[in-house]
Structure 1
Amino acid sequence: MVQRKRFDDSTCPVARALDVIGDRWMLLIVRDAFDGLRRFSEFQKSTGAARNILADRLRLLVEHGIFAVAPASDGTAYQEYVLTPRGEALFPLVVGLRQWGEAHLFARGERHSVLVDKQTEQPLAPMQPVARDGRTIRATETEVRKVAVKARG
């Protein structure tokens, strides 16, 4: 099996994040947790992932502090996977991916699921990066300030 390159020592936050949650199964599991799923069988039914793949991804999500394992809320012998604050912090990422998919991967008029605000029952407004002063900001108005990497010797 081919080993994928690890980015856990990268100075790039995007690379490090992808190292943890860049696998499609990880994001689908997290998406399902935001939809209220908590049990292995629920994640398997929703994602269609093979048991071994799902078990591995759930183990990694727990190791990375995105999920915690808890006793089943109904008192049965099962365990549940509960989003931690670190996992809940992924919500904007999932919303951003959803909105990008809605805008670019569906034909005009094609039906798809919709994420709505429970209070207003309206779809969420499109997410936009916002500068500290409140301005909506575009990619061309930003730059990455890279850190100098020390030579290993």
Structure 2
Amino acid sequence: MKRTSFADWQCSVARTTDLIGDWWTPLVLRDASRGTTRFDDFQASLGISRNVLSQRLERLVGEGMLLPRPYSLRPPRQEYLLTEKGRDFFGVILAMMAWGDRWLADGEPPFPLRHTTCGHVTTPQVTCAQCGGRLDLATVEPAGPADPDRERRPGARAAP
């Protein structure tokens, strides 16, 4: 089955899904954010096949999220470092983690986080860049077009 591309949609959620919308890409980025840089280490951590891992790393390099850097000439080997764009994805990982800890974890979160600035164990949350208040469905509304990609979705009818 051919995968639908969302790369040309105006919606940032759709475009992000187009980039990370498979099982492995978010996990590769999660491991990279934990300090994994080498192919064999990604493979051992994830249990992913070599060809799938190669494809995911190539895509993340092409998207500017990882930067390959040689660390051995014989045999030729490279490590993969997060770029600024890749490091910025950590907020997405934190949001996924917070949701999973609340709705999917059996008991305590499997990987608690400590905020190094204050030293407290914390739960990630999304906050307003202006006032610091928590953002959730009850406190956010569209400030622009509600659904610029409505016409692109299969089965969508034109707006009245």
Whether TM-score is above 0.5 comes out as yes
Aligned to 1:137: 135
Q: Cα distance, 1:7 vs. partner?
A: 0.6
Aligned residue for 2:155?
none
Match of 2:111 in 1: 113
Query: 2:135 and 2:35 mapped to 1: Cα distance?
Result: 33
Give the TM-score, by structure 2 length: 0.80
Matched residue, 1:84: 83
TM-score by length of 1: 0.83
Q: What is the match of residue 43 of structure 1? A: 42
Task: Work out which structure has the larger RCO, using CA pairs closer than 8 Å and 6 or more positions apart in sequence.
Answer: 2
Q: Tell me how far apart the structure 1 counterparts of residues 21 and 61 of structure 2 sit (CA, whole Å).
A: 15
Structure 2 CA distance for partners of 1:106 and 1:57, relative to 1, 3 Å? same
Uncovered stretches (5+) of structure 1, i.e. residues with no partner: none
- List runs of 5+ in structure 2 lacking aligned partners: 152-160
| Partner of residue 57, structure 2 | 58
CA distance, structure 2, for counterparts of residue 99 and residue 92 of structure 1: 10
More moved, 117-126 vs 58-67: 117-126
Larger proportion of strand: 2
Does the 8 Å CA contact 1:131/1:137 hold for their aligned counterparts? no
